[in-house]
Homo-oligomer: A and B are copies of this chain.
Amino acid sequence: MGNKTKHSAKKLEKKLRKLERELWTYEYLTKITQFDGATIAPENGAAARGEALAALSSAHHTLLTRDASRELIHDLKKAAAKGRISGQLADEARVLARDQREASAIPTAEEEAWTRLTCEADAVWHKAKLANDWASFEPYVDRIVETLKRHAGYLDSSKDPYDVLLDQYERGLTAKSFDAFCDQVRETVVPIVHAIVERGYQPNTSFFDARVPADLQKKISFDLIELMGIDRADTTLAFTEHPFSEGFSAGDARIATHIYEDNLISNVYSIIHEAGHAAYELGVDPAYSYTCLAGGTSMGIHESQSRFFENIVGRSRAFMGPLLGVLRRRVPAVFGSVSEDELYRAVNIAQPSLIRTEADELTYPLHIMIRYEIERLLFSGEATARDVPGLWADLTRRYLGIEVPDDTHGCLQDTHWSGGDFGYFPSYALGSAYDAQFLIAMVGDGIDVGAACAAGDLAPIRSWLEQKIWRWGRSKDAPELIELACGQPFDATPYCEYLAKKFGALYAL
């Protein structure tokens, strides 16, 4: 009997690993194809790429949800309940079971209709944004919200639909908890933003206006990737419209950036930000390779890693030495006469602005709140798409104190809604908030963060993040990771204190 059980657990493991490897292959090929499409593929290859991606998506879905896979997950669950599998294998079974449940929830016919709807919506949004024409996009927003409500019901009919969506992007997140987060952050940030505007002082940033050729910016990019501690053999630099990063395998996480010759600093912080994402992917335990535990665990945790590199390290006073070192070596004519203090003030300029992706560290969460509150109203039925431009203008005035000139620079600026990504925005804001808590825990664990930044040797910081966050891949959800790293659940207070202290000092409020 004991032998039979053992044999059977071994057999289950073998079957599971085979399934995971096949699923991984589809995922890997999807990422390679998408990366190709976003970086180097010629324009006229789009149709064929679409065919290949659709085939991959369908094959992945079929494999994950077919009867044999369901039976396997069922058997694994039973084996786990009886304690016959444990450790990594049990984690794999648990995570794959959730993936399977979520992939199976939406009926195939609805899945296809959804793909068509979002494809169409995306094409309409592109034109609408260029033409400042909310009216053309408006009906799609209502239809997408309606469809997502139904989808949420398939996933979990016992919960509020919007909570189901939030949970897809950040496990355990609810509107109630994010409401509380927003209230606390808003009470801290809005008065600071208004005080900065009233004070009227802004630092000199004229040295960022210098034209820096693409070739030189590329060299600077590699300097920064190295400074972030990433092995050149583990990454590559590609070029794209909107910067992003993607993890492909244990030794392969890439950075795609956009170089503007008249905006060096945009590329500098894109690289540092994306290097944070790449470091996370590269730091996952190699034992998880080719399993469902590979990769980052959530949007919020991923964003926390990119923003730890970008803001906690990259915009810290201590890091100005190494950063200025790179800039002076590569562009001496411009940065030779800039001091560390001047650079520190310039990279931390805070001011209300219209575009989320260009917002600074202080005002960024307010941009998220505008989107979040509108999403909440759309899902509660208190608003329809027709109300969105008005809501956008009101909230922007209230939080940022500025007027929205048109929908192109307002409610049409982001691509997320056209793709059906409602509930996604909050994860962006949470990342920075997690960071403030991670920083406290890191310092509490004896890491001299300032000294590491000042020395331009991030090894102690990387090592802490690797142990506490990166290595766990998808084996732990965000709430568990935070507890593990910080010894307590998520709390927005450190974030509010961090922002108040940093920007209070910068603007002498």
**A 44-82 to B, binary, CB cutoff 8 A, 1 in contact else 0:** 111111011001100000000000000000000000000
Interface flag for A403 (CB, 8 Å): no
Whether the pair B290, A42 counts as a contact (CB closer than 8 A) is: no
Query: Scoring A residues 191 to 233 as 1 if CB is less than 8 Å from chain B, else 0, what string do you get?
Result: 0000000000000000000000011000000000000000111
A33 & B44 in contact (Cβ 8 Å cutoff): no
Q: Would A44 and B251 count as touching, CB distance under 8 A?
A: yes
A25 on interface, CB distance cutoff 8 Å: yes
Is the beta-carbon distance between A249 and B25 smaller than 8 angstroms? no
Q: Are A28 and B52 in contact (CB under 8 A)?
A: yes
| Contact present for A40 and B236 (CB under 8 Å) | yes
**Residue on B with the closest CB to A249?**
B48
Interface of A is mostly: helix
Complex: chain B residue closest to A36, CB-CB: B32
Q: State whether A22 touches B233 (Cβ < 8 A).
A: no
CB of A250 closer than 8 Å to a CB of B: yes
**Complex Cα distance A232/B40, Å?**
12
- Residues B52 and A233 in contact, CB atoms below 8 Å apart: no
A445 to chain B, nearest CB (A): 29
Complex interface bits, A12-34 against B, C-beta within 8 A gives 1, otherwise 0:
00000000011001001100110
Determine the distance from Cα of A232 to Cα of B43 in the docked complex, in whole angstroms.
8
Given A29-B29, A51-B290, A248-B48, decide whether A235 and B40 contact each other with a Cβ distance below 8 A. no
Query: Closest CB of chain B to A216's CB: distance in Å?
Result: 11
A28 & B48 in contact (Cβ 8 Å cutoff): yes
Chain A residues with CB under 8 Å of chain B are: 21-22, 25, 28-29, 32-33, 35-36, 39-49, 51-52, 55-56, 214-215, 231-236, 238, 248-252, 254, 289-290
Beyond A25-B56, A42-B233: 13 further Cβ-contacts under 8 Å? A21-B55, A25-B55, A29-B29, A32-B36, A40-B236, A42-B232, A42-B235, A45-B248, A47-B251, A48-B248, A48-B249, A48-B252, A214-B215
